[in-house]
Amino acid sequence: MNTEWRIDTRIIHGNQGPDPQTGAISQSIIPAVAYAFPDTETAAAVVCGEAEGVYYGRYGNPTSRTLELKIAALEGGEDALGVSSGMAAISIALLGFLQQGDHVLVTKDVYGGTYSFLTSLAPRFGITFDFVDCTDVQCLIEAIKPNTKAVYIETPSNPKLTILDIEAITEACQARQLPVIVDNTFMSPCLQNPLALGADVVVHSATKYINGHGDVLAGFIIGKKDMIQFMRKKLMGDLGQQLNAWDAFLILRGMKTMGLRVERHCANAQKVAEFLESHPSIEQVFYPGLESHPQYQLAQRQMKGMGGIVSFEVKGGLQQGKKLINSLQLAMISFSLGDPETLVQHPASMTHASIPQEERLKFGITDGLIRISVGLEDAEDIIADFAQALLNIREDAHVESNIG
The residues assigned a catalytic role are 58, 111, 183, 208
The size of the chain, in residues, is 404
Q: Which helix (H) or strand (E) holds 43?
A: helix 40-47
Residue 57 to residue 60: CA distance in whole angstroms: 5
- Asked whether the beta carbons of 82 and 255 are under 8 A apart, the reply is no
Cα dihedral sign for 115, 117, 123, 126?
negative
The Cβ-side half-sphere exposure at 144, using a 13 Å CA radius, reads 19
Neighbours of 188 (CB within 10 A): 27
Residue 122 to residue 352: CA distance in whole angstroms: 18
402 phi, psi to nearest 5 deg:
-70, -40
Strand pairing partners for 104? 129, 150
- Asked whether the beta carbons of 265 and 307 are under 8 A apart, the reply is yes
Residue 371 to residue 337: CA distance in whole angstroms: 10
What is the CA angle 208-311-74, rounded to 5?
30
For 381, left (φ over 0), alpha (ψ -120 to 50), or beta?
A: alpha
Residue 383 to residue 387: CA distance in whole angstroms: 6
- Asked whether the beta carbons of 385 and 329 are under 8 A apart, the reply is yes
Q: Is the peptide bond before 159 cis (omega within 30 degrees of 0)?
A: yes
R_g of the chain, CA atoms, integer Å: 22
- Asked whether the beta carbons of 375 and 339 are under 8 A apart, the reply is yes
For 312, the 3-state DSSP assignment is strand
- Asked whether the beta carbons of 203 and 182 are under 8 A apart, the reply is yes
Q: State which amino acid sits at residue 40.
A: T
